[in-house]
C-alpha cells in the first residue's frame, strides 16, 4: 500500500518531486493589495486593510464583530483575559491539541484541566465533559468549583481539530449549565460549519488563525470573533497596548498588549479570502479522492460528522496501530511525501504533567494512529 500511496499522491499533485503537507496558494490579488499597502506607507496596525478584513470576517462567519490580532495564540490569550480567567483559575480543554491552546491558558496564570475527545471528531467530547463535571464540579454562587482542587473552573476551550467541527452545540449547553465561559479554538476551521453556523460562533469568543500553513494565510495572523459589542471594544483596546485615543498624546489606562495585526498582513489575508470558496471546493474534491483511495485499501479516512461541514484543512487517516503509523511516516517522508503524526498529548509534556486529567482513552488511541497527509489546494 505504501508504494501505491506514494505514486497516488504524486499523480494527484502532478509532480515527481517532493510534496509538502500544506503549502499556501497565492493566486489572486495578493501582490496588488500588498503593493497598495506599501505605497500607502501604512504597513503597521493602522490602515484600511485591517478594517476591511474585520468587516469581511464578520460577514463570512456571521459574527457581529471581528478583531484582527497578530496570531491565533495571542487571540486565545486575549479571549481568556476577556472571559475573566484569573490567576489560579482552571480552564478545561482537550489534551489532543496544538500547544498554543494550553500556552494561552498558562499566560493567564491559570491551569489546564484535560478532558477526553471523541474519536470521530478528534475534538472535545461532550459526554466526557459532562461526566467530568458531574464527578468533579459543583456550581456555587454562580461559579463552577472544582471539588478536587477547590479552584474555579472559569472557561472551556474545545478545538475543532484539523477543521472538523466537534459537537459544539452540546458542549455549549453543558458550559451554560455549569456557568463556564466557552472560548472556541477555531484556529484550524475557517470555512467549517456546524448546524449551518460557523465554528467560533457558539461561545462568547471564537478564535481564528492565519498562520503560514492555514487554508487562508498571511504567514501569521489571527482573529477574535464575538457578538458582544462591549467585549469587542475591549478586545481592540486591550490588544492595542490599551492606548487611550488622542490625536498626539500617549496615555494608557491598563496593562495592554501589542497584539494588533499589521495592515500588510491584513492586505494579504484579504486577497486570500477572495479565493476561500474556491479553496474549500478544492479541499472537498481532494477529500473525496482520498476517501475512495483509502476505502479500497481498508484504511480509515476521517470524514465530517452529521450536521457539520468541514473545511478539510488537513486530510487525515487513522492507521491500525503506532507501529504501522511510524512505518507509514518513515516511508512517506523518506520518499519526499510530507506526512506528520498528530500532536503528542499535552498532559505528557513536562509543563502540563501535573494537570488534572480524567480517563483519556480516545486521545491516547488517536495519538497512536492519526496521520496527516498532503492537503494543499491543487
Looking at residue 3, its pLDDT comes to 77
Q: Give the separation between CA 353 and CA 131, rounded to whole angstroms.
A: 22
Considering the domain delimited by 30-274, tell me its CATH architecture: 3-Layer(aba) Sandwich (3.40)
Residue 350: exposure state from Cβ atoms within 10 A (0-12, 13-18, ≥19):
exposed
pLDDT of residue 46: 85
Which contacts of 305-309 are long-range, i.e. CB under 8 A and separated by 24 or more positions?
A: 305/120, 305/121, 305/164, 305/165, 305/167, 307/194, 307/195, 308/164, 308/165, 308/192, 308/193, 308/194, 308/195, 309/165, 309/192, 309/193, 309/194
Give, in order, the Cα–Cα distances in Å from 371 to each of 298, 321, 347, 355. 15, 11, 20, 26
| Domain boundaries defined on the chain | 2-24+276-344, 30-274
What pLDDT does residue 61 have? 98
The whole-angstrom separation of Cα 251 and Cα 239 is 15
How far, in Å, CA of 62 to CA of 168, rounded?
16
CATH of 2-24+276-344, one of 3.10.20, 3.60.40, 3.90.1150, 3.30.200: 3.90.1150
**pLDDT of the residue at 2:** 74
Q: What pLDDT, on the 0 to 100 scale, is given for residue 356?
A: 98
Question: Are domains 2-24+276-344 and 30-274 of this chain identical in fold?
Answer: no
Report the Cα–Cα distance between both ends of the chain, in Å, rounded: 23
Each residue's pLDDT, cut to its tens digit, for the chain (378 residues) gives 777 999 999 999 999 999 999 999 999 999 999 999 999 998 988 889 999 999 999 999 999 999 999 999 999 999 999 999 999 999 999 999 999 999 999 999 999 999 999 999 999 999 999 999 999 999 999 999 999 999 999 999 999 999 999 999 999 999 999 999 999 999 999 999 999 999 999 999 999 999 999 999 999 999 999 999 999 999 999 999 999 989 899 999 999 999 999 999 999 999 999 999 999 999 999 999 999 999 999 999 999 999 999 999 999 999 999 999 999 999 999 999 999 999 999 999 999 999 999 899 999 999 999 999 999 999
Amino acid at each position: 500500500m505504501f508504494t501505491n500511496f506514494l505514486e497516488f499522491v504524486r499523480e494527484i499533485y502532478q509532480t515527481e518531486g517532493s510534496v509538502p503537507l500544506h503549502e499556501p496558494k497565492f493566486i489572486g490579488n495578493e501582490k496588488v493589495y500588498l503593493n497598495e499597502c506599501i505605497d500607502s506607507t501604512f504597513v503597521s496596525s493602522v490602515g484600511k486593510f485591517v478594517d476591511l478584513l474585520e468587516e469581511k470576517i464578520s460577514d463570512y462567519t456571521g459574527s457581529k464583530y471581528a478583531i484582527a490580532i497578530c496570531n491565533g495564540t495571542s487571540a486565545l490569550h486575549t479571549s481568556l483575559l476577556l472571559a475573566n480567567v484569573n490567576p489560579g483559575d482552571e480552564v478545561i480543554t482537550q489534551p489532543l491539541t496544538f500547544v498554543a491552546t494550553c500556552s494561552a491558558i498558562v499566560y493567564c496564570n491559570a491551569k489546564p484541566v484535560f478532558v477526553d475527545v471523541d474519536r470521530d471528531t478528534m475534538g472535545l467530547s461532550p459526554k466526557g465533559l459532562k461526566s467530568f463535571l458531574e464527578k468533579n464540579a459543583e456550581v456555587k454562587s454562580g461559579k463552577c468549583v472544582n471539588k478536587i482542587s477547590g479552584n474555579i473552573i472559569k472557561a472551556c476551550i474545545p478545538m475543532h481539530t484539523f477543521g472538523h467541527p466537534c459537537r459544539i452545540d452540546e458542549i455549549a449547553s453543558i458550559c451554560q449549565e455549569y456557568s463556564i465561559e466557552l472560548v472556541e479554538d477555531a484556529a484550524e476551521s475557517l470555512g467549517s460549519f456546524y448546524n449551518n453556523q460557523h465554528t467560533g460562533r457558539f461561545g462568547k469568543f471564537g478564535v481564528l488563525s492565519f498562520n503560514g500553513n492555514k487554508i487562508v494565510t498571511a504567514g501569521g495572523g489571527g482573529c477574535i470573533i464575538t457578538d458582544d459589542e462591549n467585549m469587542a471594544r475591549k478586545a481592540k483596546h486591550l490588544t492595542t497596548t490599551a492606548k487611550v485615543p488622542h490625536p498626539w498624546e500617549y496615555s494608557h489606562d491598563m496593562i495592554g498588549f501589542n497584539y494588533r495585526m499589521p495592515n500588510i498582513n491584513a492586505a494579504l489575508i484579504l486577497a486570500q479570502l477572495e479565493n476561500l470558496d474556491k479553496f474549500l471546493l478544492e479541499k472537498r474534491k481532494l477529500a473525496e479522492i482520498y476517501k475512495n483511495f483509502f476505502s479500497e485499501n481498508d484504511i480509515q479516512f476521517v470524514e465530517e460528522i452529521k450536521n457539520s461541514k468541514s473545511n478539510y484543512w488537513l486530510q487525515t487517516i487513522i492507521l491500525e496501530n503506532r507501529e504501522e503509523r511510524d512505518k507509514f511516516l518513515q516511508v512517506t517522508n523518506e520518499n519526499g511525501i510530507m506526512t506528520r503524526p498528530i500532536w503528542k498529548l499535552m498532559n505528557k509534556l513536562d509543563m502540563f504533567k501535573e494537570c488534572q486529567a480524567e480517563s483519556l482513552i480516545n486521545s491516547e488511541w488517536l495519538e497512536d494512529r492519526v496521520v496527516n497527509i498532503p492537503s494543499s489546494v491543487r
